């Protein structure tokens, strides 16, 4: 009996460890990334690293400025949201409020499968189709900000759709009925009551999608053009933070390698900040929904 007790304790201890593994992993990732990347700032001032556009890590007088890549990441991510948010919101509204059974099941399946397609396949599709269309429409190489944003928009669509649908469904039925009973049409109810009520949740979805886009590597690597310069306009070639890490990783040494980890730190900080905002927004959206239910 006693031995069994001890065995149970042991197993329970193991469960605790597994439960804590995620947070431990996050802590270790943070720790190692900083340990490996931060030494760069002893040689290169942080301000120069962040605000210089001179990226010549292999030159005799090496330059480690990643401003172009920060701008590239933000530009590509922002533009992808410009494409993805209107579509994602519309589809989310459709699934939550308007859908007929069969059509909505087909759409839901499509969204789930889109979420499952590997990024390297998005990349191939981007090279062969998106960049090609882009080239014939706007000239140039076809590789650049625009193509990367379109691919990213498709990739972030499922996240935005899902979160929009879930937060719209969380809006209490009473609000919908209250609006309809005042003689509002379905459209007015959606636009003026439901979407505003679900806005924190929808914002969380958009930010979640933003995080996805910011962290995406393979697809943008394949269609972005990867020129280590400030992007020249919407059709100019672009290198993002993620691309910068993966491109040089295979041959970088010494300070150059450290600078790649430092790039990782910058990306990581961006992502953590976005995650924090999402957590706050989701909490707000849940408490908002409860508050709206009244009583």
Partner 1 sequence: MRESERGHAAKIRQERWAFGLIRALSGATIIILAAIVGFILWRGLRYSNETRSPYLPYAERSPEGVAILVNGGLRLEELDFEQLLGIYSDEYINWAKICADATDLLPLALEPGAPGAGSAEALVFGQAPAWGALVEFSPTPEALLERLASTPGSIAILPEPALAGLKPEARRIGLRRLVVAMNPEAAELVNERSVEEISLGDLAGLLRGSPASWAALGGPELPVRPLAPESRGPLAAALEAAGLEAPLPAGGTPAEDSGQDTCAAIASTPGAVGFAFARDALGAGLPLLRLRGRETGWNLKLRYLLEEPRLSGRAGGISTIILNTLSMLLLTVGIAGPVGVAAAIYLVEYARQGPLLRLLRLGTETLAGIPSIIFGLFGMLVFVDLLGFGFGLLSGCLTLSLMILPTIVRSSEEALKTVSPALREGSLALGATKLQTVFRVVVPAASPGILTGLLLAVGRAVGETAALLFTMGSDYKLAKGLFSSSRALSTHIYLLFAEGISFDRAFSTATVLIAVVLAFNLAAKRLVGRMSRNAAR
Partner 2 sequence: MPPAVKISVRDLDLWYGSVQALRKVGADIASRSITALIGPSGCGKSTFLRTLNRMNDLIEGVRVEGVVEYEGSSIFAPGADVIELRKRIGMVFQKPNPFPMSVYDNVAYGPRIHGSPSRRAADRRALDEIVERSLEQAALLEEVKDRLHKPALGLSGGQQQRLCIARVLAVEPDVLLMDEPTSALDPISTSKIENLLEELKKRYTIVIVTHNMQQAGRVSDAVGFFLHGELVEYAPTKEVFFNPKDKRTEAYISGRFG
Pick out residues in 27-86 that bind partner 2 (CB under 8 A): none
DSSP result, 217-233? -HHHHHHSB--SS---S
Of 166, 181, 178, the residue nearest 285 (C-alpha): 166
Considering only residues 209-248, where is the footprint of partner 1 by CB under 8 A? 211, 214-218, 222, 242, 245-246
Decide if residue 286 touches partner 2 (CB under 8 A): no
Decide if residue 8 touches partner 2 (CB under 8 A): no
- Which of 66, 76, 81, 93 binds partner 1 (CB under 8 A)? It is 93
- For 128, the token pair is 């062969």
What number of chain residues touch partner 2 (CB under 8 A)?
Answer: 24
Q: Which is nearer to partner 2, 100 or 250 (CB)?
A: 100
Considering only residues 14-43, where is the footprint of partner 1 by CB under 8 A? 14-16, 18-26, 28-29, 32-33, 36
Unique residue bearing structure tokens 């009583």: 295
Considering only residues 133-192, where is the footprint of partner 2 by CB under 8 A? 172, 174-185, 188, 192
SS3 at position 253: coil
Rounded-to-integer distance, Cα 31 and Cα 95, Å: 42
Are 85 and 164 within 8 A, CB to CB?
Answer: no
Of 50, 37, 32, the residue nearest 256 (C-alpha): 37
Cβ 118 to partner 1 shortest distance, Å: 2
Of 56, 77, 64, the residue nearest 262 (C-alpha): 64
Decide if residue 197 touches partner 2 (CB under 8 A): yes
Rule CB under 8 A: which residues touch partner 2? Answer: 172, 174-185, 188, 192-193, 196-197, 288, 291-295
């Amino acid at each position: 009996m006693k031995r069994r007790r001890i065995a149970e304790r042991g197993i329970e201890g193991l469960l605790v460890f597994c439960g804590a593994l995620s947070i431990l992993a996050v802590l270790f990732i943070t720790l190692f990334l900083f340990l490996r990347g931060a030494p760069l700032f002893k040689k290169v001032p942080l301000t120069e690293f962040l605000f210089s556009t001179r990226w010549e890590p292999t030159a005799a007088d090496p330059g480690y400025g990643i401003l172009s890549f920060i701008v590239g990441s933000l530009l590509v991510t922002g533009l992808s949201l410009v494409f993805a948010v209107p579509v994602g919101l519309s589809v989310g509204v459709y699934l939550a409020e308007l859908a007929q059974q069969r059509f909505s099941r087909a759409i839901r399946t499509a969204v789930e499968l889109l979420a499952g397609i590997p990024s390297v396949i998005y990349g191939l599709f981007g090279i062969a189709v998106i960049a090609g269309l882009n080239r014939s429409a706007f000239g140039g190489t076809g590789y650049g900000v625009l193509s990367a944003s379109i691919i990213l928009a498709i990739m972030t669509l499922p996240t935005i759709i899902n979160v929009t649908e879930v937060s719209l469904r969380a809006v209490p039925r009473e609000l919908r009925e209250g609006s309809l009973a005042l003689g509002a049409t379905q459209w007015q109810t959606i636009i003026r009551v439901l979407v505003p009520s679900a806005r924190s949740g929808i914002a969380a979805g958009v930010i979640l999608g933003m995080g996805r886009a910011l962290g995406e590597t393979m697809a943008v690597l394949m269609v972005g053009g990867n020129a280590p310069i400030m992007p020249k306009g919407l059709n100019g070639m672009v290198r993002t933070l993620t691309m910068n890490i993966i491109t040089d990783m295979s041959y970088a040494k010494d300070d150059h390698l450290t600078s790649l980890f430092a790039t990782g730190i910058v990306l990581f900080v961006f992502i953590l900040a976005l995650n924090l905002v999402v957590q706050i927004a989701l909490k707000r959206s849940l408490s908002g929904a409860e508050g709206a239910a009244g009583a």
